Structure formats: structure tokens, C-alpha cells
Amino acid sequence: DGGITQSPKYLFRKEGQNVTLSCEQNLNHDAMYWYRQDPGQGLRLIYYSQIVNDFQKGDIAEGYSVSREKKESFPLTVTSAQKNPTAFYLCASSLTGGGLNTEAFFGQGTRLTVV
């Protein structure tokens, strides 16, 4: 089945620890995105990548890092510098970032809780 897969579904982290969230897609999409979702805040863009080996900061990039070494993969690292990391994280992909078809397909999300 084609799609976008996030893992794990639930993640617990101790304060001061870095943690990496996985996002893999087999849709052959060029662009990938990470969003953070908090109650009443909608979806806020953390980072996005329109092509392999390139990525840009979104609106709330502080305390996060990403890499895009392969077209299929766009992992997100939540660092200890992120002051309030507890949230629901959503990964998405689209065919091209600036092309005609920008329908975004979302993964099922990872719920990160700092304990």
C-alpha cells in the first residue's frame, strides 16, 4: 500500500533528552513537511523540504532539527532546547512543493509526551 508512515504512534521522553520521530513515504513525493498540533492551535509548520538534501525552517523551528538524506525519509529530532515539546506531531508529503498538485497526504501522527 502506498502511503506515509509515522512511528512510533506514542513516545515518552524525559526532560533534557533528544528524541527522533520517524516519517517515511512511498508515494514518490518530492516535498515533505512536519507540523505540530496543539489543542486550539491548528497545525503549525516546523520544517519543510522540497527536495532531497534541502530543507527550510517553518514558523516554529526553534528546538527542532531535520534531515532529508533520502527522498522517502524526513526524520524530525526534538531537542532538549524545545521548551514545550509535548504535542501531536504530523508529517505530510506532497508531489511538489510549488507545483500544480499540492494535495498534502498526512501520516497518522506521533503523540510525544515529556515526563
Partner 1 sequence: GENVEQHPSTLSVQEGDSAVIKCTYSDSASNYFPWYKQELGKGPQLIIDIRSNVGEKKDQRIAVTLNKTAKHFSLHITETQPEDSAVYFCAASNYGGSQGNLIFGKGTKLSVKP
Q: Which residues bind partner 1 (CB under 8 A)?
A: 6, 31, 33, 35, 40-45, 48, 50, 56, 58, 90, 92, 96-100, 102-109
Closest to partner 1 by CB, 22 or 80: 22
Closest to partner 1 by CB, 75 or 80: 75
Measured from the CB of residue 16, what is the shortest distance to partner 1 in angstroms? 28
Closest to partner 1 by CB, 17 or 28: 28
Measured from the CB of residue 80, what is the shortest distance to partner 1 in angstroms? 27
Q: DSSP letter for 102, please.
A: -
